[in-house]
């Protein structure tokens, strides 16, 4: 994901793990040379409370919330939702600064912790009032977040649970007899047991190596009110006409071993009707991908978002012909384009992540219009990014999920 400023808010020990390089694939297909000599690395996702199938690299920095000698807290540093005198807990509308540095008198190590007098510390989380889940349905975005709102989001950081359908696709890898869960790509939850992602993320890889994480937001903390959930993948369905050389029909479905438990931070996205047109819509892409192209790019800690216009097919093809793809390049009908505004784009590591557009006449409800596929660089002026067109695949998705007895009402907008 590209933003104008490089976001550096956390310092953690990290491990670099080799992953598939989509840009190298594009270069090889079109006989192109990456002028920046970019390489791709994978960013691990930090663990959350609850049973884990294996360690995730890097592990979060463990800090004892009771230790306050160094942080000058006059009480005790606890998760913000465990302090009874914290106004954040009253209605979920309190503000938390994600660039929190604290003041000289009261400073906790984690920005999601609060300095709390011991007499006010509670055991059970104080949960703000939230909409009833049965009234939410698919595609409900939370523009103000869930449980708290953030400040300091100058680089496109999303609110917590703003896009509750966003998932991370992880891959289990063994290194020195240690099982690691490595970030592979993004995806979206379209039913409690089904994830929509790009075919290039999972093609020719063992299905039992994949793990899907829902409810993730900040990959380096476990202090959110609602934790993430992990599920194993038992089946991978790739479009029969997917072409690994050209990335035509770059769509895949992941069937999970057990469904996710729908929660405030875990919901499904709506899919558009077949052949629905999104031209000129202003839409959101989200992901944990790199902020700039090339070696200087950093994978994101907090889930990022970017607001982009959908570009008509013919105009996108014309723009791409001005790049190193050349004047004879033909944009396949299975692609949709969005972006072209300088410094705003999806980027390396965002593959499989959703592009969502507002549903006309429905407040804060969204269709998934695209799946991040490829691009020429990231955030180039007048050069849109390229996505798999979900509306062109709706009939295919329905047909495949019918065989799995998945109810289409999970991902169908019902006014």
Residue 92 has pLDDT above 50, yes or no: no
Please give the pLDDT value at position 185.
Answer: 92
**Computed from CA positions of residues 131, 362, 357, 211, in that sequence, does the dihedral angle turn out positive or negative?**
positive
**Computed from CA positions of residues 234, 214, 175, 50, in that sequence, does the dihedral angle turn out positive or negative?**
negative
262 and 285 share one domain: no
Please write the tens of the pLDDT for every residue from 158-198.
999 999 999 999 988 888 888 888 888 999 999 999 999 99
183 and 265 share one domain: yes
Please write the tens of the pLDDT for every residue from 110-137.
888 888 888 888 888 877 666 554 456 8
383 and 248 share one domain: no
How far is CA 25 from each of CA 32, 113, 384, rounded to the nearest angstrom? Answer: 10, 43, 18
> How do beta strands 229-238 and 149-151 pair?
unpaired
Please give the pLDDT value at position 87.
Answer: 55
Q: How big is the CA angle at 133 (ends 137 and 408), to the nearest 5 degrees?
A: 30
The mean per-residue pLDDT over the stretch 343-365 comes to 84
- The residues with which 140 forms a beta bridge, in sequence order, are 365
Please give the pLDDT value at position 388.
Answer: 98
244 and 312 share one domain: no
CATH code of 246's domain: 2.40.10.10
Does 172 fall in a domain? yes
Q: Which of 193, 190, 187, 235 is nearest to 388 (CA)?
A: 187
The mean per-residue pLDDT over the stretch 285-303 comes to 66
**Among the ranges 9-18, 245-254, 343-352, which has the highest mean pLDDT value?**
245-254
Find the Cα–Cα–Cα–Cα dihedral 320, 203, 190, 181, rounded to 10°.
-110
Please write the tens of the pLDDT for every residue from 193-225.
999 999 999 998 888 889 999 999 998 888 888
Residue 391 has pLDDT above 70, yes or no: yes
Please give the pLDDT value at position 335.
Answer: 98
Residue 90 has pLDDT above 80, yes or no: no
Does 160 fall in a domain? no
306 and 383 share one domain: yes
Does 72 fall in a domain? no
243 and 385 share one domain: no
Please, which pLDDT band fits residue 29 given cuts at 50, 70 and 90?
very low
| Host domain of residue 190 | 166-269+396-410
**Count of the separate structural domains present in the chain:** 2
């Amino acid at each position: 994901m590209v933003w104008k400023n490089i976001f550096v808010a956390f310092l953690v020990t990290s491990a670099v793990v080799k992953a598939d390089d989509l840009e190298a694939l594009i270069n090889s297909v079109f006989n192109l040379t990456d002028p920046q000599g970019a390489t791709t690395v994978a960013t691990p996702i930090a663990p959350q409370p609850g049973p884990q199938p294996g360690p995730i690299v890097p592990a979060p920095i463990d800090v004892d919330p009771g230790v306050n000698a160094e942080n000058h807290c006059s009480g005790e540093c606890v998760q913000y939702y465990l302090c009874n005198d914290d106004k954040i807990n009253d209605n979920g509308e309190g503000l938390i600064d994600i660039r929190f540095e604290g003041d000289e008198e009261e400073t906790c190590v984690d920005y999601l912790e609060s300095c709390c007098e011991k007499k006010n510390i509670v055991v059970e989380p104080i949960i703000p009032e939230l909409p009833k889940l049965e009234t939410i349905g698919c595609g409900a975005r939370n523009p103000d977040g869930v449980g708290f709102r953030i400040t300091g989001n100058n680089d496109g950081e999303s609110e917590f649970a703003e896009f509750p359908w966003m998932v991370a696709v992880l891959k289990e890898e063994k290194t020195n007899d240690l099982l690691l869960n490595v970030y592979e790509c993004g995806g979206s939850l379209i039913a409690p047991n089904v994830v929509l992602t790009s075919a290039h993320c999972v093609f020719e890889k063992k299905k039992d190596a994949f793990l899907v994480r829902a409810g993730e937001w900040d990959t380096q903390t476990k202090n959110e009110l609602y934790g993430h959930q992990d599920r194993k993948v038992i089946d991978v369905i790739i479009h029969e006409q997917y072409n690994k050389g050209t990335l035509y029909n770059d769509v895949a479905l992941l069937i999970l071993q057990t469904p996710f438990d729908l929660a405030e931070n875990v919901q499904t996205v709506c899919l558009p009707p077949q052949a629905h047109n999104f031209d000129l819509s202003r839409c959101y892409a989200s992901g944990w991908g790199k902020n700039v192209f090339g070696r200087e790019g950093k994978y994101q800690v907090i889930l990022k978002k970017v607001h982009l216009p959908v570009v008509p097919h013919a105009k996108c093809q014309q723009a791409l012909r001005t790049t190193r793809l050349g004047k004879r390049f033909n944009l396949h009908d299975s692609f949709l384009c969005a972006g072209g505004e300088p410094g705003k784009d999806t980027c390396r590591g965002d593959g499989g992540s959703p592009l969502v557009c507002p549903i006309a006449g429905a407040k804060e409800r969204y269709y998934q219009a695209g799946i991040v596929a490829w691009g020429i660089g990231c955030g180039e002026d007048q050069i849109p990014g390229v996505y798999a067109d979900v509306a062109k695949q709706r009939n295919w998705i329905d047909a495949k999920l019918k065989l799995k007895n998945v109810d289409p009402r999970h991902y169908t907008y019902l006014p």
